[in-house]
Structure 1
Amino acid sequence: MGSEIPFLKGLTGEVVTPKDPEYEEARQEWNRAIDKFPLVIVYCERKEDVKNAIRWARRHRVSIRIRSGGHHYEGYSTGDFVLVIDISRLNALRLDEHHHLLYMGAGAKNTEVYDFVGSKGYVFPGGTCPTVGVAGFTLGGGWGFSSRLLGLGCDSLVEMELVNFKGEIVKANKHRHADLFWACRGAGGGNFGVVVEMTFQLPKPVNSHVTLVRFYYVGTTEEKQAAVMDIWQEWLPCLDKRMTLVASFYHAAEEGLGIFAQGFFYGPPEEARLLLAPFAVVEGFRVELEESPFLEAVQKVEETYPPSEKFKSTGRFVDRRFTDKEFETIAGLVQNPAEGSVYAAVSFYAMGGQISKIDKRDTAFYYRDAHYIIGIQSVWTEDMFAEKNKAWVRERFEYIKRITDGSYVNFPISGLKDYEREYFGANAKRLDMVNERYDPYNVFRFPQGL
C-alpha cells in the first residue's frame, strides 16, 4: 500500500494513494458529480492516526480536507492534491442509559447511529440520508425530521473532542473551551480542527413510536404547486412542534410535475391527519400515515435514498411571507428542467418549533427565526449534461437569493459572495475570532472556510 513510500513516512492508519487499486473507489464522494484527485487519503482508525495526519500535512505543506460521510454538496471534503483525513472508521458508539448520553466516534453515519439507539428504544435528532456523517451534519447545525420537536442536531451536542493544528486533542463543552464549543455548533464543518468524538444528550425513551407522514397530489399542475406553497406558509407558523416535514415541488423526467411531502409526527396518525387538513382543500390530495417504532420509520425513509447521485443542490432561509406572485415565480422555476435532468425540485424544509427556542447568538447557527429552508436542486445521470444542470441551479439560485436572507451551510453553493455573512449572519465576526485562536495558521483551510 501507499504507506510504504518514503514520502509518506509518519502517516498511520490505512493510507491510500493514486498508485493503489483502492484509490478510485476511495476518492469518490456521494455526489458523483464531484471529481477530485487527492494526493493521499488516510482512513483513520485511532485518534493517533488523525494527529499523525495533521502533523504530516503541516510538515509537507499539503492542504487538509476532512471527510466522514463524503456528502458535502460542493465536495469540500475532498480536493485535488490534498490530504483527505477520513474519519469514517472512528465510529464506535456507547450509550450511558442512566444519564441518557450517547458517546459517538465522529465518523459514525446516520444509519449506524439510528440502528444503535433505535434498538434500545431511543430516538436521535439526526438527518434523513443514511450515509451522511453525523459529525458533518451536526457541525453545520443539523436539520432532520425531529428538528421541530427536539431541535437541530447541534442542540443535543454536549461535548466534543477535536484534534487541533498542533495534533493535540482539545475537549470542548459549555465550561471548557466554551468559545470553540459555541462555534462548532453551526460552523464546525471543516473549521478549527478535526472532530473525533462527540457526546449527545438523548431524550428519555418514553415512547419511541412515530407516525411516518407522506402526502402527495394526483394530477399536479404549476398552479397547484403554487397553491400548496401558499397553504404551507399559512399553516407552518402554528404547526404542532411534534411534526417536521419537507415538501418538494418537482419535475421528474418519468412523471412530470409533482408534489411530495414526508416527515415525522411524534403522535398518533389520527392527530396527524387533522393537522394536515388544510392541504386537503387542493384537489388530488392523498395522504399516507403509518405509525411504527422510531427505527422502523427511519429505515423506511432511508430506503428511498440511492447509493449515490449526480446533483447540484443548495438552500436558503425564508423568514417572511411570500406574495402570490412570488409563489408563482417559485413554482415556475421547475417547469423547464435542464437538458438531461431526471429530477428538478424546489423543496421546503420546515423550521420553527424547538429550533427557534434557542437564541441565535447561543450557538453559531444563526438563522433560528427562519420559517423554513427553501432548497433548489437538479439531478442528472449523464456527465455530458453536468454543466447545463449546474448552470440551471445557479440561475434559479440567484432569484431565490433575492427573496431570502442567508444560506444554510449544510446546503452550500460555491461562488457565494460574502459567504461568511451569508452562512453565519451576525455570528460571522465572532467566528473569525474563534478561528484565529484555535487555527491561527489557517491549517484547516478550504473553499468557503473561515
Structure 2
Amino acid sequence: MSNTPAQAARRELMGFKGELIGPDDSGYEEARTVYNAMADKSPALVARCTDADDVARVIRFAREHRLPLAVRGGGHHGAGLGTCDGGVVADLSPLKSVEVDPVARTVRVGGGCVWGEVDRATHEHGLATPSGIISTTGVGGLTLGGGLGHLTRRYGLSIDNLLAADVVLADGSLVRASADEDTDLHWAIRGGGGNFGVVTSFLFRLHELSTVVAGPTFWPAEQGAEVLAAYRDFLPRAPREVNGFFMYGTVPPAPPFPEELHLHKVAGVVWCHTTDDPDAAARAMAPLLDALPEPALHAVAPMPHPALQSLFDGLYPPGDQWYWRADFVDEIPDEAVALHAKFGVDVPTMQSTMHLYPIDGAAHDHASTDTAWSYRGARWACVYAGVDPDPANADLIKRWTVDYFDALHPYTAGGAYVNMMMDEGQDRVRASYRDNYTRLAQVKAAYDPENVFRLNQNIEPE
C-alpha cells in the first residue's frame, strides 16, 4: 500500500487545524501554483497553516520525514523559493489577521497577508508603513528580504519599521524577536530572509500618511540616456519627501494611458511625493523636469496611498513567466548610462522592464551593521525583469535579462537585493551580505543548525 507524504501527514499531524493537500486531491493544482509560472514545481504536500501551532507541526513533520521544507507567504518570490519538488510547502495564506492600533501607531500583521490588505486597513486611520510597489506581494517575503518601495526615502525600508516578529523555529518552538527579546534573531530577520524560522506575525511602526502625489512621467525610450543622466544627478539631492524610481518599459494598451502611447517603449520616473500638496510636489520635481525635454506623459496627481500601491497590479497578474536579475548601485557613470540606453530600448516584451529603486534618504540613517541588510551606502537597487505570459517566450526574456545584467554588473556594488535574485549560488548570497554574512552564519547556527530553512537565499550555518 502506498504511503505518500500527504497520507502520512493526515495520520500523524494530530491537532492540525488547517488543510493538507497532496497530488491526488482536487485542489492540488491551485495549491501548488505560485506567482511566477516559471517556477512550475510539484510538492508532495501543501499544508495550509492556520496558526503558529500548525506551522510547528509541519516543520516537525518535514524534519522527521527528511523532506525539503519551503515556506510560502504571498508566493511572489522571483526564484520560486516558496515551493519545491517532492517536499513540503508550509503555506501561510490563511494567516490573514491585520490589527491596527492607531494610538500606538502600529499594525500587527499575519504572516500570510499581502500588502494590499495591510494598506487598506492602515489607510482607514490615515496611516501607512513602507512596503513595495505591487499590492499582491506577500508581507513576509518582502519584509524579511528588506522591503523596498515608494516610501523608502521618507520612512526607510520595511525592516526599519519592523518592531517585533513572532517566529516558529526549526525545533518547533515559538519566540518573539524584538529589540528586547531574541535580539540576535531580530537583527538577522531584518534582511536575512527566511533563513531563521517562519514568521507568523509581524509588528510594524506606522506613519501619518493618507494621500500622496504620485504617478508616472514618460519620455520616448530613445531619450532614455538623457533622462537617466539627469535623474542620477537629481534624485540623491532631492528632499526625502520625493521618491521616484527610474524605469524602462512599454506603455500598456489600457487606461489610464492615452491610446497614442499604447505599446510605445518609454523611459520614465514613477513618482511618490509623500504629501497631499500638488504644488509642493511640482516644486520638488521641477529640477528634473526643467532639465529635460517635454515628456510624452506627465500623469502625476494626488491619490490615496493604497491606489499608488496597487497601480501595477493589473499589469503584473499572477501566472506570468518571470526571470530576474538584480544589483546594488552606488554610482551611474556615463558608460553605464549608455549601456542602459542600449538594453532599455530593446525590452523584449510588453511587461519586461528595468527599475532603479532609490535606497537613500531614511534608509541611510542606519549603519551597515544595524540590520542584516548591509548595503546602507548604496543609492539604488537595480532590477532587470523579463516578464511575459507566454511560456514560449521564456528563453527570450531570460536572455535579455541575463545579457542586460552581465553588461551592467561591472558598474555595480557587487551584491543584490535578495528579494530580486534567482537561485544564483552561494557567492552571490555572500556578496549580498558582505561583512554581515559571518554574523548571519553564527545566528543561523544558533537557531537552525541543521539548515532546515534552506529553500531560500541560503545562509549556511557556521
Q: Is 2:71–2:83's contact at 8 Å kept on the other side of the alignment?
A: yes
Q: Is 2:271–2:300's contact at 8 Å kept on the other side of the alignment?
A: no
Change (3 A) 1:120 1:303: farther
Q: How many Å apart are 1:128 and its aligned residue? A: 1.6
For residue 243 of structure 2, what is the aligned residue in structure 1? Answer: 244
- What letter corresponds to residue 315 of structure 1 in structure 2? A
- Write the mapping of 1:4-403 to structure 2, written as runs, cut at 5 A: 5-6=7-8, 8-11=10-13, 12=16, 13-187=18-192, 189-203=193-207, 205=208, 208-217=210-219, 220-222=220-222, 224-250=223-249, 255-267=263-275, 268-277=277-286, 278-285=288-295, 286-300=297-311, 302-323=313-334, 325-338=335-348, 341-403=349-411
Q: Is 1:3–1:16's contact at 8 Å kept on the other side of the alignment?
A: no
- Tell me, in whole angstroms, the C-alpha distance in 1 between the residues paired with 2:401 and 2:375: 23
SS at match of 1:66: strand
- Tell me, in whole angstroms, the C-alpha distance in 1 between the residues paired with 2:73 and 2:194: 11
Q: How many Å apart are 1:448 and its aligned residue? A: 3.3
- Tell me, in whole angstroms, the C-alpha distance in 2 between the residues paired with 1:130 and 1:60: 36
Q: Is 2:228–2:337's contact at 8 Å kept on the other side of the alignment?
A: yes
Structure 1 window deviating more from structure 2 (287-296 vs 137-146): it is 287-296
Structure 1 window deviating more from structure 2 (270-279 vs 25-34): it is 270-279
- Tell me, in whole angstroms, the C-alpha distance in 2 between the residues paired with 1:107 and 1:392: 33
Structure 2 runs not aligned, ≥5 long: 253-261
Aligned residues: 440
TM-score by length of 1: 0.92
Q: Is 1:214–1:260's contact at 8 Å kept on the other side of the alignment?
A: yes
Change (3 A) 1:221 1:173: closer
- Tell me, in whole angstroms, the C-alpha distance in 2 between the residues paired with 1:105 and 1:344: 31
Say what the alpha-carbon RMSD is for the aligned residues.
Answer: 2.0
Q: Is 2:221–2:344's contact at 8 Å kept on the other side of the alignment?
A: no
For residue 446 of structure 1, what is the aligned residue in structure 2? Answer: 455
Structure 1 window deviating more from structure 2 (378-387 vs 31-40): it is 378-387
Q: Is 2:6–2:44's contact at 8 Å kept on the other side of the alignment?
A: no
SS at match of 2:280: helix
Q: Is 1:251–1:335's contact at 8 Å kept on the other side of the alignment?
A: no
Q: Is 1:148–1:242's contact at 8 Å kept on the other side of the alignment?
A: yes
Q: How many Å apart are 1:81 and its aligned residue? A: 0.6
For residue 427 of structure 1, what is the aligned residue in structure 2? Answer: 436
Change (3 A) 1:438 1:316: same
For residue 259 of structure 2, what is the aligned residue in structure 1? Answer: none
SS at match of 2:246: strand
- Tell me, in whole angstroms, the C-alpha distance in 2 between the residues paired with 1:84 and 1:367: 31
- Deviation digits for residues 352-406 of structure 1 (CA, Å, limit 9, x no counterpart): 1100111110001111111111211212222122123213212221222211111
SS at match of 1:342: coil
- Tell me, in whole angstroms, the C-alpha distance in 2 between the residues paired with 1:377 and 1:385: 13
Change (3 A) 1:287 1:428: same
- Tell me, in whole angstroms, the C-alpha distance in 1 between the residues paired with 2:456 and 2:160: 26
Change (3 A) 1:378 1:336: same
Q: Is 2:81–2:456's contact at 8 Å kept on the other side of the alignment?
A: yes
- Deviation digits for residues 84-114 of structure 1 (CA, Å, limit 9, x no counterpart): 0011111211122221121111111101101
Structure 1 runs not aligned, ≥5 long: none
Change (3 A) 1:417 1:397: farther
- Tell me, in whole angstroms, the C-alpha distance in 2 between the residues paired with 1:101 and 1:221: 42
- Tell me, in whole angstroms, the C-alpha distance in 1 between the residues paired with 2:426 and 2:32: 29
- Tell me, in whole angstroms, the C-alpha distance in 2 between the residues paired with 1:27 and 1:263: 36
Structure 1 window deviating more from structure 2 (275-284 vs 440-449): it is 275-284
SS at match of 2:418: coil
SS at match of 1:172: strand
Q: Is 1:334–1:344's contact at 8 Å kept on the other side of the alignment?
A: no
- Tell me, in whole angstroms, the C-alpha distance in 1 between the residues paired with 2:6 and 2:340: 55
Change (3 A) 1:395 1:103: same
Q: Is 1:106–1:134's contact at 8 Å kept on the other side of the alignment?
A: yes
- Tell me, in whole angstroms, the C-alpha distance in 2 between the residues paired with 1:113 and 1:322: 38
SS at match of 1:142: coil
- Tell me, in whole angstroms, the C-alpha distance in 2 between the residues paired with 1:415 and 1:122: 37
- What letter corresponds to residue 212 of structure 1 in structure 2? A
SS at match of 2:387: strand
Q: Is 1:342–1:381's contact at 8 Å kept on the other side of the alignment?
A: no
Q: How many Å apart are 1:78 and its aligned residue? A: 0.6
Change (3 A) 1:417 1:185: closer
- What letter corresponds to residue 197 of structure 1 in structure 2? S
SS at match of 1:214: strand
Q: How many Å apart are 1:256 and its aligned residue? A: 4.2
- What letter corresponds to residue 186 of structure 1 in structure 2? G
- Tell me, in whole angstroms, the C-alpha distance in 1 between the residues paired with 2:43 and 2:284: 49
- Deviation digits for residues 301-340 of structure 1 (CA, Å, limit 9, x no counterpart): 54554344212122211112412x32111210234445xx
Change (3 A) 1:392 1:252: farther
- Deviation digits for residues 132-173 of structure 1 (CA, Å, limit 9, x no counterpart): 111111110000111111110011111111111111101111
SS at match of 1:25: helix
- What letter corresponds to residue 202 of structure 2 in structure 1? M
- Tell me, in whole angstroms, the C-alpha distance in 2 between the residues paired with 1:348 and 1:66: 28
- What letter corresponds to residue 419 of structure 1 in structure 2? R
